[in-house]
Structure 1
Protein backbone atom coordinates (compact mmCIF):
# COMPACT_ATOMS: atom_id res chain seq x y z
CA UNK A 1 0.00 0.00 0.00
CA UNK A 2 1.47 3.36 -1.01
CA UNK A 3 2.10 5.99 1.64
CA UNK A 4 -0.42 8.81 1.36
CA UNK A 5 2.30 11.44 1.83
CA UNK A 6 3.61 10.75 -1.67
CA UNK A 7 1.59 12.78 -4.18
CA UNK A 8 3.22 11.25 -7.24
CA UNK A 9 0.83 9.42 -9.54
CA UNK A 10 2.14 5.87 -9.29
CA UNK A 11 -0.64 4.09 -11.14
CA UNK A 12 0.95 1.16 -12.98
CA UNK A 13 4.36 2.16 -11.60
CA UNK A 14 6.50 -0.79 -10.51
CA UNK A 15 7.16 -0.85 -6.78
CA UNK A 16 10.95 -0.85 -6.31
CA UNK A 17 12.37 -3.68 -4.22
CA UNK A 18 13.20 -2.67 -0.63
CA UNK A 19 16.91 -3.31 -1.23
CA UNK A 20 16.86 -0.99 -4.24
CA UNK A 21 15.19 1.69 -2.12
CA UNK A 22 17.74 1.28 0.68
CA UNK A 23 20.60 1.64 -1.79
CA UNK A 24 18.93 4.67 -3.39
CA UNK A 25 18.48 6.14 0.09
CA UNK A 26 22.18 5.77 0.92
CA UNK A 27 23.21 7.01 -2.51
CA UNK A 28 21.04 10.13 -2.16
CA UNK A 29 21.65 11.10 1.45
CA UNK A 30 24.72 9.32 2.85
CA UNK A 31 27.36 8.77 0.16
CA UNK A 32 29.82 11.65 -0.24
CA UNK A 33 28.18 13.89 2.35
CA UNK A 34 31.55 15.63 2.78
CA UNK A 35 31.88 14.82 6.49
CA UNK A 36 33.37 11.35 6.41
CA UNK A 37 31.63 7.98 6.34
CA UNK A 38 28.31 7.95 8.15
CA UNK A 39 26.04 5.34 9.67
CA UNK A 40 22.28 5.94 9.79
CA UNK A 41 19.91 5.05 12.60
CA UNK A 42 17.58 2.22 11.63
CA UNK A 43 14.59 4.27 12.72
CA UNK A 44 15.48 6.97 10.19
CA UNK A 45 15.68 4.41 7.39
CA UNK A 46 12.33 2.92 8.44
CA UNK A 47 10.76 6.39 8.45
CA UNK A 48 12.03 7.35 5.00
CA UNK A 49 11.12 4.06 3.31
CA UNK A 50 7.72 4.19 4.97
CA UNK A 51 7.07 7.35 2.98
CA UNK A 52 7.15 5.30 -0.22
CA UNK A 53 5.02 2.46 1.10
CA UNK A 54 7.58 0.00 2.50
CA UNK A 55 6.53 -1.38 5.89
CA UNK A 56 8.74 -1.50 8.97
CA UNK A 57 9.11 -5.29 9.01
CA UNK A 58 10.10 -5.34 5.34
CA UNK A 59 12.74 -2.68 6.00
CA UNK A 60 14.18 -4.52 9.03
CA UNK A 61 14.34 -7.80 7.09
CA UNK A 62 16.01 -6.05 4.17
CA UNK A 63 18.65 -4.44 6.41
CA UNK A 64 19.47 -7.83 7.94
CA UNK A 65 19.78 -9.47 4.51
CA UNK A 66 21.98 -6.64 3.27
CA UNK A 67 24.31 -7.11 6.25
CA UNK A 68 24.49 -10.83 5.50
CA UNK A 69 25.28 -10.06 1.86
CA UNK A 70 28.11 -7.71 2.75
CA UNK A 71 26.33 -4.54 1.61
CA UNK A 72 25.82 -2.93 5.02
CA UNK A 73 27.56 -3.09 8.38
CA UNK A 74 25.96 -2.64 11.80
CA UNK A 75 27.12 -0.23 14.45
CA UNK A 76 25.51 -0.05 17.89
CA UNK A 77 25.33 3.26 19.72
CA UNK A 78 23.77 2.71 23.14
CA UNK A 79 20.38 1.10 22.55
CA UNK A 80 20.21 2.19 18.92
CA UNK A 81 21.41 0.31 15.85
CA UNK A 82 22.99 2.21 13.00
CA UNK A 83 23.85 0.97 9.49
CA UNK A 84 26.68 2.05 7.20
CA UNK A 85 27.92 1.16 3.75
CA UNK A 86 30.57 -1.49 3.22
CA UNK A 87 33.25 -0.97 0.55
CA UNK A 88 31.34 -3.38 -1.69
CA UNK A 89 28.13 -1.34 -1.45
CA UNK A 90 30.12 1.85 -1.89
CA UNK A 91 31.41 0.50 -5.20
CA UNK A 92 27.92 -0.50 -6.32
CA UNK A 93 26.60 2.99 -5.60
CA UNK A 94 29.46 4.67 -7.41
CA UNK A 95 28.88 2.43 -10.42
CA UNK A 96 25.19 3.32 -10.32
CA UNK A 97 26.06 7.00 -10.01
CA UNK A 98 28.25 6.69 -13.10
CA UNK A 99 25.36 5.15 -15.00
CA UNK A 100 22.84 7.72 -13.79
CA UNK A 101 24.67 11.03 -13.79
CA UNK A 102 27.55 10.69 -16.26
CA UNK A 103 27.03 7.92 -18.82
CA UNK A 104 23.34 8.63 -19.29
CA UNK A 105 20.79 6.61 -21.21
CA UNK A 106 21.68 7.82 -24.72
CA UNK A 107 24.85 6.50 -26.39
CA UNK A 108 25.92 9.06 -28.97
CA UNK A 109 29.68 8.47 -28.86
CA UNK A 110 29.93 4.79 -29.86
CA UNK A 111 33.23 4.09 -31.64
CA UNK A 112 31.98 1.16 -33.73
CA UNK A 113 33.57 -1.60 -31.63
CA UNK A 114 31.82 -4.59 -30.09
CA UNK A 115 32.74 -7.01 -27.33
CA UNK A 116 31.98 -10.64 -28.17
CA UNK A 117 31.82 -13.27 -25.42
CA UNK A 118 31.44 -16.95 -26.19
CA UNK A 119 30.89 -19.63 -23.56
CA UNK A 120 30.30 -23.35 -23.40
CA UNK A 121 29.22 -24.82 -20.07
CA UNK A 122 28.35 -28.38 -19.09
CA UNK A 123 24.63 -29.11 -19.36
CA UNK A 124 24.38 -29.66 -15.59
CA UNK A 125 25.71 -26.17 -14.79
CA UNK A 126 22.31 -24.50 -14.87
CA UNK A 127 22.99 -22.19 -11.94
CA UNK A 128 26.33 -21.02 -13.39
CA UNK A 129 24.68 -20.44 -16.76
CA UNK A 130 21.90 -18.40 -15.15
CA UNK A 131 24.38 -16.34 -13.10
CA UNK A 132 26.56 -15.63 -16.14
CA UNK A 133 23.63 -14.56 -18.28
CA UNK A 134 22.32 -12.30 -15.50
CA UNK A 135 25.69 -10.62 -15.06
CA UNK A 136 26.12 -10.22 -18.81
CA UNK A 137 22.70 -8.61 -19.14
CA UNK A 138 23.58 -6.08 -16.41
CA UNK A 139 26.83 -5.36 -18.29
CA UNK A 140 24.93 -4.52 -21.49
CA UNK A 141 25.23 -7.81 -23.38
CA UNK A 142 22.56 -9.33 -25.60
CA UNK A 143 22.38 -12.87 -26.93
CA UNK A 144 23.60 -12.98 -30.52
CA UNK A 145 23.27 -16.77 -30.38
CA UNK A 146 22.72 -19.10 -27.41
CA UNK A 147 26.41 -19.26 -26.45
CA UNK A 148 27.60 -16.04 -28.07
CA UNK A 149 26.81 -12.68 -26.47
CA UNK A 150 27.61 -9.19 -27.71
CA UNK A 151 27.82 -5.69 -26.24
CA UNK A 152 28.62 -2.26 -27.73
CA UNK A 153 32.08 -0.86 -27.03
CA UNK A 154 34.94 -2.43 -25.12
CA UNK A 155 33.55 -4.12 -22.03
CA UNK A 156 35.92 -5.56 -19.43
CA UNK A 157 34.34 -8.81 -18.23
CA UNK A 158 37.37 -10.30 -16.48
CA UNK A 159 35.98 -9.62 -13.01
CA UNK A 160 32.60 -11.15 -13.87
CA UNK A 161 34.11 -14.28 -15.36
CA UNK A 162 36.63 -14.74 -12.55
CA UNK A 163 34.07 -14.22 -9.79
CA UNK A 164 31.93 -16.97 -11.31
CA UNK A 165 34.94 -19.26 -11.72
CA UNK A 166 34.39 -19.60 -15.47
CA UNK A 167 37.74 -18.48 -16.86
CA UNK A 168 38.32 -21.82 -18.59
CA UNK A 169 34.89 -21.76 -20.24
CA UNK A 170 34.74 -18.24 -21.69
CA UNK A 171 36.40 -16.60 -24.69
CA UNK A 172 36.30 -12.81 -25.25
CA UNK A 173 37.01 -10.82 -28.42
CA UNK A 174 36.82 -7.17 -29.47
CA UNK A 175 35.82 -6.57 -33.07
CA UNK A 176 34.07 -4.41 -35.66
CA UNK A 177 31.17 -5.50 -37.82
CA UNK A 178 31.73 -6.05 -41.53
CA UNK A 179 29.81 -3.77 -43.90
CA UNK A 180 27.79 -6.83 -44.86
CA UNK A 181 26.23 -6.92 -41.37
CA UNK A 182 22.94 -5.12 -40.81
CA UNK A 183 23.65 -3.69 -37.36
CA UNK A 184 20.13 -2.38 -36.85
CA UNK A 185 18.69 -5.84 -37.56
CA UNK A 186 21.26 -7.47 -35.28
CA UNK A 187 20.28 -5.13 -32.44
CA UNK A 188 16.59 -5.84 -32.89
CA UNK A 189 17.26 -9.59 -32.83
CA UNK A 190 19.60 -9.53 -29.81
CA UNK A 191 17.79 -7.09 -27.50
CA UNK A 192 14.13 -6.57 -26.62
CA UNK A 193 13.88 -2.98 -27.84
CA UNK A 194 10.10 -2.87 -27.61
CA UNK A 195 10.07 -3.61 -23.88
CA UNK A 196 12.93 -1.24 -23.19
CA UNK A 197 11.26 1.59 -25.10
CA UNK A 198 7.97 0.95 -23.30
CA UNK A 199 9.67 1.35 -19.91
CA UNK A 200 11.09 4.73 -20.96
CA UNK A 201 7.72 5.89 -22.30
CA UNK A 202 5.91 4.83 -19.12
CA UNK A 203 8.52 6.53 -16.92
CA UNK A 204 8.27 9.77 -18.85
CA UNK A 205 4.46 9.74 -18.76
CA UNK A 206 4.32 9.12 -15.00
CA UNK A 207 6.87 11.72 -14.01
CA UNK A 208 5.86 14.42 -16.50
CA UNK A 209 2.49 14.58 -14.76
CA UNK A 210 3.78 14.05 -11.21
CA UNK A 211 2.84 16.38 -8.36
CA UNK A 212 6.16 17.24 -6.71
CA UNK A 213 4.77 19.48 -3.97
CA UNK A 214 4.44 17.06 -1.08
CA UNK A 215 7.47 15.11 0.19
CA UNK A 216 10.74 15.78 -1.68
CA UNK A 217 12.63 12.98 0.11
CA UNK A 218 10.05 10.37 -0.89
CA UNK A 219 9.70 11.77 -4.40
CA UNK A 220 13.43 11.77 -5.08
CA UNK A 221 13.89 8.32 -3.54
CA UNK A 222 11.28 6.77 -5.81
CA UNK A 223 12.50 8.77 -8.82
CA UNK A 224 16.11 7.59 -8.53
CA UNK A 225 15.23 3.98 -7.68
CA UNK A 226 12.87 3.71 -10.64
CA UNK A 227 15.28 5.36 -13.06
CA UNK A 228 18.15 3.12 -11.99
CA UNK A 229 15.91 0.08 -12.40
CA UNK A 230 15.34 1.07 -16.04
CA UNK A 231 18.87 1.98 -17.03
CA UNK A 232 20.29 -1.14 -15.36
CA UNK A 233 18.55 -3.12 -18.13
CA UNK A 234 19.58 -0.68 -20.87
CA UNK A 235 22.71 -1.82 -22.78
CA UNK A 236 23.28 1.75 -24.06
CA UNK A 237 23.10 0.71 -27.68
CA UNK A 238 24.40 3.17 -30.30
CA UNK A 239 21.56 5.61 -30.84
CA UNK A 240 22.24 5.92 -34.57
CA UNK A 241 21.21 2.27 -34.99
CA UNK A 242 18.04 2.57 -32.90
CA UNK A 243 14.54 3.48 -34.13
CA UNK A 244 13.91 7.17 -34.75
CA UNK A 245 12.61 9.16 -31.79
CA UNK A 246 14.12 6.68 -29.32
CA UNK A 247 12.28 7.56 -26.06
CA UNK A 248 15.30 7.32 -23.75
CA UNK A 249 16.31 10.90 -24.49
CA UNK A 250 12.99 12.44 -23.47
CA UNK A 251 12.74 10.22 -20.40
CA UNK A 252 16.28 11.20 -19.38
CA UNK A 253 15.44 14.89 -19.75
CA UNK A 254 12.42 14.40 -17.50
CA UNK A 255 14.48 12.49 -14.92
CA UNK A 256 17.21 15.13 -14.79
CA UNK A 257 14.71 17.98 -14.56
CA UNK A 258 12.91 16.45 -11.57
CA UNK A 259 16.17 15.34 -9.97
CA UNK A 260 17.42 18.93 -10.12
CA UNK A 261 14.14 20.28 -8.74
CA UNK A 262 14.11 17.89 -5.79
CA UNK A 263 17.82 17.86 -4.91
CA UNK A 264 17.80 20.93 -2.68
CA UNK A 265 14.48 20.35 -0.89
CA UNK A 266 15.21 16.64 -0.36
CA UNK A 267 18.68 17.36 0.99
CA UNK A 268 17.39 19.95 3.47
CA UNK A 269 14.59 17.68 4.67
CA UNK A 270 16.94 14.72 5.02
CA UNK A 271 19.35 16.79 7.10
CA UNK A 272 16.48 17.54 9.49
CA UNK A 273 14.97 14.05 9.84
CA UNK A 274 17.94 11.68 9.57
CA UNK A 275 19.88 10.66 12.67
CA UNK A 276 23.45 9.78 11.77
CA UNK A 277 26.73 9.04 13.50
CA UNK A 278 30.31 8.72 12.22
CA UNK A 279 31.04 5.22 10.95
CA UNK A 280 33.90 4.01 13.11
CA UNK A 281 35.27 1.45 10.66
CA UNK A 282 34.04 -0.33 7.56
CA UNK A 283 35.08 -4.00 7.63
CA UNK A 284 36.69 -5.10 4.40
CA UNK A 285 34.42 -8.13 4.17
CA UNK A 286 31.23 -6.22 4.98
CA UNK A 287 30.47 -8.49 7.96
Structure 2
Protein backbone atom coordinates (compact mmCIF):
# COMPACT_ATOMS: atom_id res chain seq x y z
CA UNK A 1 0.00 0.00 0.00
CA UNK A 2 1.69 3.16 -1.19
CA UNK A 3 1.31 6.82 -0.22
CA UNK A 4 -0.50 8.92 -2.79
CA UNK A 5 0.06 12.40 -4.16
CA UNK A 6 0.57 15.51 -2.08
CA UNK A 7 -2.65 16.60 -3.80
CA UNK A 8 -4.38 14.16 -1.47
CA UNK A 9 -3.87 16.45 1.50
CA UNK A 10 -4.49 19.75 -0.29
CA UNK A 11 -8.31 20.04 -0.30
CA UNK A 12 -10.32 22.46 -2.44
CA UNK A 13 -7.60 24.91 -3.42
CA UNK A 14 -6.61 26.50 -6.68
CA UNK A 15 -3.42 24.81 -7.86
CA UNK A 16 -3.12 26.12 -11.40
CA UNK A 17 -0.05 28.18 -10.44
CA UNK A 18 1.66 25.51 -8.38
CA UNK A 19 2.14 21.83 -9.16
CA UNK A 20 3.33 19.99 -6.10
CA UNK A 21 5.18 16.72 -6.79
CA UNK A 22 3.38 13.41 -6.86
CA UNK A 23 4.46 11.24 -4.01
CA UNK A 24 6.47 8.09 -4.54
CA UNK A 25 7.11 5.13 -2.30
CA UNK A 26 9.92 6.08 0.04
CA UNK A 27 9.72 9.74 -0.93
CA UNK A 28 11.35 11.46 -3.91
CA UNK A 29 13.96 14.25 -3.64
CA UNK A 30 11.22 16.75 -4.51
CA UNK A 31 8.93 15.35 -1.78
CA UNK A 32 11.74 15.61 0.75
CA UNK A 33 12.61 19.15 -0.32
CA UNK A 34 8.99 20.31 -0.06
CA UNK A 35 8.59 18.79 3.41
CA UNK A 36 11.91 20.27 4.53
CA UNK A 37 11.05 23.81 3.44
CA UNK A 38 7.53 23.54 4.82
CA UNK A 39 8.79 22.36 8.21
CA UNK A 40 11.06 25.39 8.70
CA UNK A 41 9.77 28.21 6.47
CA UNK A 42 6.04 27.60 6.00
CA UNK A 43 4.82 30.71 7.79
CA UNK A 44 7.83 33.01 7.41
CA UNK A 45 8.47 32.10 3.76
CA UNK A 46 12.08 32.66 4.67
CA UNK A 47 14.81 32.55 2.02
CA UNK A 48 17.18 29.58 2.24
CA UNK A 49 20.51 29.51 0.42
CA UNK A 50 20.59 26.90 -2.30
CA UNK A 51 23.77 25.46 -0.76
CA UNK A 52 22.00 25.03 2.59
CA UNK A 53 19.06 23.21 0.98
CA UNK A 54 21.47 20.92 -0.88
CA UNK A 55 23.37 20.23 2.34
CA UNK A 56 20.22 19.43 4.32
CA UNK A 57 18.91 17.19 1.54
CA UNK A 58 22.29 15.45 1.44
CA UNK A 59 21.92 14.65 5.12
CA UNK A 60 18.57 13.07 4.24
CA UNK A 61 20.26 10.80 1.71
CA UNK A 62 19.72 12.85 -1.47
CA UNK A 63 22.78 13.19 -3.71
CA UNK A 64 24.05 16.65 -4.61
CA UNK A 65 23.00 16.24 -8.23
CA UNK A 66 19.52 15.02 -7.35
CA UNK A 67 19.10 17.80 -4.79
CA UNK A 68 19.95 20.50 -7.33
CA UNK A 69 17.65 18.92 -9.89
CA UNK A 70 14.83 18.76 -7.35
CA UNK A 71 15.23 22.46 -6.50
CA UNK A 72 15.23 23.41 -10.18
CA UNK A 73 12.12 21.36 -10.91
CA UNK A 74 10.28 22.77 -7.92
CA UNK A 75 11.05 26.27 -9.14
CA UNK A 76 9.76 25.33 -12.59
CA UNK A 77 6.55 23.95 -11.03
CA UNK A 78 5.89 27.21 -9.19
CA UNK A 79 6.60 25.70 -5.77
CA UNK A 80 9.77 27.75 -5.20
CA UNK A 81 10.95 31.19 -6.26
CA UNK A 82 14.55 32.36 -6.36
CA UNK A 83 16.61 35.49 -5.85
CA UNK A 84 20.27 36.41 -5.79
CA UNK A 85 21.80 37.35 -2.46
CA UNK A 86 25.25 38.59 -3.34
CA UNK A 87 26.91 35.73 -5.18
CA UNK A 88 24.55 33.18 -3.69
CA UNK A 89 21.17 31.98 -4.92
CA UNK A 90 18.40 31.63 -2.35
CA UNK A 91 14.97 30.00 -2.61
CA UNK A 92 11.70 30.20 -0.75
CA UNK A 93 8.19 28.80 -1.07
CA UNK A 94 5.89 30.80 -3.32
CA UNK A 95 2.78 32.20 -1.70
CA UNK A 96 0.63 29.70 -3.61
CA UNK A 97 2.72 26.74 -2.46
CA UNK A 98 2.92 27.92 1.14
CA UNK A 99 -0.85 28.47 1.27
CA UNK A 100 -1.53 25.06 -0.28
CA UNK A 101 0.82 23.33 2.13
CA UNK A 102 -0.66 25.19 5.08
CA UNK A 103 -4.18 24.07 4.12
CA UNK A 104 -2.88 20.55 3.66
CA UNK A 105 -1.18 20.72 7.05
CA UNK A 106 -4.46 21.66 8.67
CA UNK A 107 -6.16 18.68 7.02
CA UNK A 108 -3.38 16.39 8.21
CA UNK A 109 -3.41 17.70 11.77
CA UNK A 110 -7.19 17.57 12.06
CA UNK A 111 -8.34 14.52 10.15
CA UNK A 112 -8.88 12.45 13.30
CA UNK A 113 -11.22 15.11 14.71
CA UNK A 114 -12.96 15.34 11.36
CA UNK A 115 -13.56 11.60 11.45
CA UNK A 116 -15.31 11.79 14.82
CA UNK A 117 -17.69 14.50 13.56
CA UNK A 118 -18.94 12.48 10.56
CA UNK A 119 -22.61 13.17 9.76
CA UNK A 120 -23.42 9.58 8.76
CA UNK A 121 -23.69 10.29 5.04
CA UNK A 122 -21.56 8.94 2.23
CA UNK A 123 -20.45 10.72 -0.90
CA UNK A 124 -21.19 8.40 -3.82
CA UNK A 125 -19.65 8.85 -7.26
CA UNK A 126 -21.12 6.87 -10.16
CA UNK A 127 -19.78 7.07 -13.68
CA UNK A 128 -19.99 5.34 -17.01
CA UNK A 129 -17.29 5.33 -19.65
CA UNK A 130 -17.49 3.61 -23.05
CA UNK A 131 -15.23 0.76 -24.04
CA UNK A 132 -11.86 1.98 -25.22
CA UNK A 133 -11.70 4.81 -22.68
CA UNK A 134 -8.85 3.21 -20.73
CA UNK A 135 -6.86 6.44 -20.36
CA UNK A 136 -9.87 8.31 -18.99
CA UNK A 137 -10.72 5.45 -16.66
CA UNK A 138 -7.18 5.34 -15.25
CA UNK A 139 -7.12 9.11 -14.79
CA UNK A 140 -10.51 9.11 -13.06
CA UNK A 141 -9.67 6.23 -10.75
CA UNK A 142 -6.36 7.80 -9.82
CA UNK A 143 -8.02 11.13 -9.07
CA UNK A 144 -10.75 9.48 -6.99
CA UNK A 145 -8.15 7.64 -4.90
CA UNK A 146 -6.23 10.87 -4.34
CA UNK A 147 -9.50 12.41 -3.07
CA UNK A 148 -9.97 9.61 -0.52
CA UNK A 149 -12.54 7.51 -2.43
CA UNK A 150 -12.45 3.77 -2.85
CA UNK A 151 -14.38 1.42 -5.13
CA UNK A 152 -17.53 -0.25 -3.78
CA UNK A 153 -18.77 -1.73 -7.06
CA UNK A 154 -17.70 -1.33 -10.68
CA UNK A 155 -18.22 2.32 -11.54
CA UNK A 156 -19.37 3.18 -8.01
CA UNK A 157 -16.98 4.86 -5.57
CA UNK A 158 -17.61 6.01 -1.99
CA UNK A 159 -16.11 8.27 0.64
CA UNK A 160 -17.46 9.59 3.95
CA UNK A 161 -16.06 13.04 3.10
CA UNK A 162 -17.93 15.72 1.19
CA UNK A 163 -16.71 16.49 -2.32
CA UNK A 164 -16.25 20.24 -2.97
CA UNK A 165 -17.89 21.55 -6.14
CA UNK A 166 -14.54 22.37 -7.70
CA UNK A 167 -13.32 18.79 -7.27
CA UNK A 168 -16.59 17.41 -8.68
CA UNK A 169 -16.11 19.64 -11.72
CA UNK A 170 -12.61 18.24 -12.21
CA UNK A 171 -14.01 14.71 -12.20
CA UNK A 172 -16.73 15.72 -14.68
CA UNK A 173 -14.07 17.16 -16.99
CA UNK A 174 -12.26 13.80 -17.02
CA UNK A 175 -15.40 11.83 -17.89
CA UNK A 176 -16.90 14.33 -20.29
CA UNK A 177 -19.84 14.76 -17.94
CA UNK A 178 -20.85 11.09 -17.63
CA UNK A 179 -20.73 11.18 -13.84
CA UNK A 180 -23.14 11.63 -10.92
CA UNK A 181 -22.19 12.72 -7.39
CA UNK A 182 -24.56 12.63 -4.41
CA UNK A 183 -24.66 12.29 -0.61
CA UNK A 184 -26.65 9.41 0.87
CA UNK A 185 -27.12 7.23 3.94
CA UNK A 186 -26.60 3.50 3.88
CA UNK A 187 -29.86 1.59 4.41
CA UNK A 188 -29.92 -1.97 5.76
CA UNK A 189 -32.48 -4.31 4.16
CA UNK A 190 -33.04 -6.76 6.97
CA UNK A 191 -32.29 -10.30 5.81
CA UNK A 192 -31.26 -9.25 2.32
CA UNK A 193 -27.51 -9.42 1.94
CA UNK A 194 -25.99 -5.98 1.44
CA UNK A 195 -22.45 -4.72 1.38
CA UNK A 196 -21.56 -2.09 3.96
CA UNK A 197 -19.68 0.79 2.27
CA UNK A 198 -16.94 0.39 4.87
CA UNK A 199 -16.19 -3.03 3.36
CA UNK A 200 -14.77 -1.25 0.33
CA UNK A 201 -11.61 -0.52 2.33
CA UNK A 202 -8.99 -3.16 3.11
CA UNK A 203 -9.11 -2.44 6.82
CA UNK A 204 -6.64 -5.18 7.75
CA UNK A 205 -4.02 -3.78 5.39
CA UNK A 206 -4.57 -0.20 6.61
CA UNK A 207 -4.34 -1.33 10.24
CA UNK A 208 -1.09 -3.05 9.32
CA UNK A 209 0.28 0.22 7.90
CA UNK A 210 -0.69 2.01 11.09
CA UNK A 211 0.87 -0.66 13.27
CA UNK A 212 4.12 -0.61 11.31
CA UNK A 213 4.25 3.16 11.72
CA UNK A 214 3.66 2.95 15.47
CA UNK A 215 6.28 0.24 15.94
CA UNK A 216 8.91 2.12 13.93
CA UNK A 217 8.56 5.52 15.58
CA UNK A 218 7.46 4.53 19.08
CA UNK A 219 10.82 2.84 19.53
CA UNK A 220 12.48 6.24 19.08
CA UNK A 221 10.45 8.05 21.77
CA UNK A 222 12.82 7.38 24.71
CA UNK A 223 15.68 9.00 22.80
CA UNK A 224 13.49 11.93 21.72
CA UNK A 225 12.39 12.59 25.31
CA UNK A 226 15.96 12.32 26.56
CA UNK A 227 17.14 14.88 24.00
CA UNK A 228 19.49 12.38 22.38
CA UNK A 229 18.27 12.96 18.79
CA UNK A 230 20.10 16.05 17.55
CA UNK A 231 21.80 17.55 14.49
CA UNK A 232 21.17 15.98 11.08
CA UNK A 233 19.38 13.02 12.68
CA UNK A 234 16.77 15.33 14.23
CA UNK A 235 16.02 17.05 10.91
CA UNK A 236 15.98 13.81 8.93
CA UNK A 237 13.75 12.05 11.46
CA UNK A 238 11.30 14.92 11.68
CA UNK A 239 10.99 14.96 7.87
CA UNK A 240 10.52 11.20 7.67
CA UNK A 241 7.93 10.97 10.44
CA UNK A 242 5.86 13.67 8.70
CA UNK A 243 6.16 12.11 5.25
CA UNK A 244 5.19 8.68 6.57
CA UNK A 245 2.21 9.98 8.55
CA UNK A 246 0.82 11.99 5.64
CA UNK A 247 -0.35 8.84 3.84
CA UNK A 248 -2.99 8.09 6.48
CA UNK A 249 -5.08 11.11 5.48
CA UNK A 250 -5.85 9.15 2.30
CA UNK A 251 -5.58 5.52 3.43
CA UNK A 252 -7.84 5.79 6.48
CA UNK A 253 -11.60 5.81 5.74
CA UNK A 254 -11.82 8.67 8.27
CA UNK A 255 -14.87 7.34 10.08
CA UNK A 256 -15.55 7.61 13.83
CA UNK A 257 -13.49 5.29 15.99
CA UNK A 258 -16.69 3.55 17.18
CA UNK A 259 -17.36 2.34 13.62
CA UNK A 260 -13.90 0.92 13.11
CA UNK A 261 -12.69 -2.55 14.14
CA UNK A 262 -11.73 -2.93 17.83
CA UNK A 263 -8.27 -1.58 18.56
CA UNK A 264 -8.16 0.64 15.46
CA UNK A 265 -4.67 2.21 15.78
CA UNK A 266 -5.44 5.66 14.35
CA UNK A 267 -5.23 7.51 17.68
CA UNK A 268 -2.03 5.80 18.79
CA UNK A 269 -0.38 6.59 15.47
CA UNK A 270 -1.31 10.24 15.87
CA UNK A 271 0.04 10.32 19.43
CA UNK A 272 3.36 8.90 18.26
CA UNK A 273 3.50 11.30 15.31
CA UNK A 274 2.90 14.33 17.55
CA UNK A 275 5.42 13.14 20.15
CA UNK A 276 8.21 12.69 17.59
CA UNK A 277 7.43 15.65 15.31
CA UNK A 278 6.90 18.17 18.09
CA UNK A 279 9.54 16.66 20.35
CA UNK A 280 12.28 17.17 17.75
CA UNK A 281 11.28 20.74 16.84
CA UNK A 282 13.94 22.46 18.94
CA UNK A 283 16.87 20.23 17.99
CA UNK A 284 15.94 20.25 14.31
CA UNK A 285 15.55 24.03 14.22
CA UNK A 286 18.96 24.51 15.80
CA UNK A 287 20.60 22.40 13.12
CA UNK A 288 18.74 24.05 10.22
CA UNK A 289 19.59 27.51 11.58
CA UNK A 290 23.27 26.57 11.78
CA UNK A 291 23.26 25.16 8.24
CA UNK A 292 21.64 28.30 6.83
CA UNK A 293 24.06 30.56 8.71
CA UNK A 294 27.03 28.50 7.57
CA UNK A 295 25.99 28.51 3.90
CA UNK A 296 24.33 31.91 3.71
CA UNK A 297 27.23 34.28 4.14
CA UNK A 298 25.68 37.53 5.34
CA UNK A 299 22.12 36.16 5.15
CA UNK A 300 20.25 36.19 8.44
CA UNK A 301 18.61 32.81 8.99
CA UNK A 302 14.83 33.25 8.88
CA UNK A 303 13.53 29.86 9.91
CA UNK A 304 10.89 28.75 12.37
CA UNK A 305 9.17 25.54 13.34
CA UNK A 306 5.53 24.82 14.05
CA UNK A 307 3.83 22.18 16.17
CA UNK A 308 1.04 19.89 15.00
CA UNK A 309 -1.36 22.07 16.99
CA UNK A 310 -0.11 25.13 15.09
CA UNK A 311 -1.02 23.44 11.80
CA UNK A 312 -4.66 23.36 12.91
CA UNK A 313 -4.72 27.17 12.78
CA UNK A 314 -4.57 26.95 8.99
CA UNK A 315 -2.95 29.42 6.57
CA UNK A 316 -0.87 32.13 8.21
CA UNK A 317 1.47 32.82 5.34
CA UNK A 318 3.57 35.90 4.58
CA UNK A 319 1.95 37.30 1.39
CA UNK A 320 3.68 38.09 -1.89
CA UNK A 321 5.60 41.33 -1.73
CA UNK A 322 6.13 41.15 2.03
CA UNK A 323 9.61 40.64 3.39
CA UNK A 324 9.82 37.70 5.74
CA UNK A 325 11.66 38.67 8.88
CA UNK A 326 13.38 36.87 11.67
CA UNK A 327 11.17 38.79 14.11
CA UNK A 328 8.38 36.32 13.41
CA UNK A 329 7.75 33.54 15.92
CA UNK A 330 10.61 31.06 15.91
CA UNK A 331 10.38 28.05 18.17
CA UNK A 332 13.90 27.23 19.33
CA UNK A 333 13.04 24.79 22.08
CA UNK A 334 11.11 21.51 22.06
CA UNK A 335 7.35 21.97 22.09
CA UNK A 336 5.85 21.40 25.51
CA UNK A 337 3.54 18.48 26.02
CA UNK A 338 4.92 16.46 23.14
CA UNK A 339 5.04 13.21 25.04
CA UNK A 340 2.61 10.47 24.12
Would the TM-score normalized by the shorter structure come out above 0.5?
Answer: yes
Match of 2:185 in 1: 176
Residue 120 (structure 2) aligns with: 112
Give the equivalent residue in structure 2 for 1:26.
Answer: 37
Q: How far apart are the structure 2 equivalents of 1:106 and 1:207?
A: 24
Cα deviations by residue, 1:147-183 (Å, 9 ceiling, x for unpaired): 1111103221533533772362221101111133889
Range with bigger deviation, 19-28 or 166-175: 166-175
C-alpha contact (below 8 Å) 1:114/1:153 kept by paired residues: yes
| Distance across 2 between alignment mates of 1:56 and 1:198 | 35
TM-score (norm 2): 0.69
CA gap 1:145/1:219 in 2 versus in 1, 3 angstroms: same
Per-residue CA deviation, residues 13-36 of structure 1 (Å, 9 max, x unaligned), is x63222221121122101113xxx
Give the direction of change, closer, same or farther, for the CA distance of 1:120–1:90 in structure 2 (3 Å limit).
farther
Structure with the greater relative contact order (CA < 8 A, sep ≥ 6): 1 or 2? 1
Q: Does the CA-based 8 Å contact 2:112-2:267 persist in structure 1?
A: no
Contact 1:106 1:239 in 2 (8 A): no
Deviation at 1:265, TM superposition (A): 2.2
Alpha-carbon separation, structure 2, partners of 1:144 and 1:193 = 14
Task: Judging by fraction of residues, say which structure has more strand.
Answer: 1
CA contact (8 A) 1:110 1:152 kept: yes
Residues of 2 paired with 1:173 and 1:106: CA distance? 20
How many positions carry a matched residue from both structures?
Answer: 265
Structure 1 residues 280, 202: closer, same or farther in 2, change over 3 A? closer
Over aligned residues, Cα RMSD in angstroms? 2.8
TM-score calculated relative to the size of structure 1: 0.81
After superposition, the Cα gap between the structure-2 partners of 1:177 and 1:22, relative to the gap in structure 1 and judged at 3 Å, is: same
Is there any run of 5+ residues in structure 1 with no aligned partner, and where? Answer: 1-13, 283-287
Identify which of 30, 33, 54 aligns with 1:46: 54
From 96, 106, 110, give the equivalent of 1:98. 106
